[in-house]
Homo-oligomer: A and B are copies of this chain.
C-alpha cells in the first residue's frame, strides 16, 4: 500500500527544546523518521515521504538499496495530504513521522484495520491523529485541533465506516520530554539508540518517571 509520511524538515520537534538543542532535535527527528520508514518497508509497503523542505534520506542499513519516493510540499500538513488524496485512485495511508515506537507488526494491524473499514484511524494522545488508512474517495484530512474527533465527524459526513486502531505504539507520537520515557522503555530502533547515545535516560527521582541528561 502507498503510505504517505509527512515530515516537518525545517524546525522539527521544538517542544523538545528543554532537553535537546536545534541540531540535536533535527538528528533525533530523522532517527524517528528512519524507524517509521523501516517499519513500513519491513511490513511490505511503499512509504512516500512528504517533506516541508528538501532533505537527504539518512543512511540506514534497514533500507539500503530501497528507492524511497519523496516530494517537497511547503504547504500546511493538511493541504499537502489532501492534494495527494485528490489525485489518488486507490487506498492511501498516512503515518506521521514521529512514531518512534512503531514496528512492522503495528503497521500490519493498521493496514488490517483499513481492510475492514472505509477509514482506519489510529488516535494519538491528546486528541490527535497519528495514522489513517483511507479507502473512501471523498474523505479529506484536517490535522488541526482535536483532529481525532474531527476525522470521526468527517467520516460520518461521507458515510464512511470507521475502524479505530487501539495501539499504544501508534498513539505515542513524540513531542515533549515526557514522551521520551516511552521511547526509552519501548523503542526498538534508531530513535531509542540516539537518545541513549545522547545521554538521555529515565529519571525516577521524582513522583513520576521522567527523563534527564547525564552529559
Interface residues of A (CB under 8 A from B): 105-106, 109, 123, 125-127, 145-146, 148-149, 166-171, 178, 181-182, 185-186, 202, 204, 208-209
Contacts and interface: CB of A to CB of B under 8 A. Distances in A.
B168 A126 contact: no
A182 to B, nearest CB: 7
A127 B209 contact: yes
Contacts of A146: 185, 202, 204, 209
Contact of A166 (B123, B127, B168, B204): B168
The 8 closest A-B pairs by CB, nearest first: A168-B171, A127-B209, A126-B209, A166-B167, A168-B168, A166-B169, A166-B168, A146-B209
Contacts of A186: 123
A149 B185 contact: yes
Contacts of A178: 126
B171 A127 contact: no
Nearest to A147: B209
Q: Which of A125, A181, A186 has the most chain B CB atoms inside 10 A of its CB? A: A125
A125 B166 contact: no
Contacts of A182: 125-126
Q: Which of A123, A126, A149, A186 has the most chain B CB atoms inside 10 A of its CB? A: A126
Nearest to A208: B126
Contacts of A126: 178, 181-182, 208-209
A145 B181 CA distance: 13
Contacts of A145: 204, 209
20 contacts: A105-B166, A123-B168, A123-B185, A123-B186, A125-B182, A126-B178, A126-B181, A126-B182, A126-B209, A127-B202, A146-B185, A146-B204, A148-B185, A149-B185, A166-B167, A166-B168, A166-B169, A168-B168, A168-B170, A171-B171
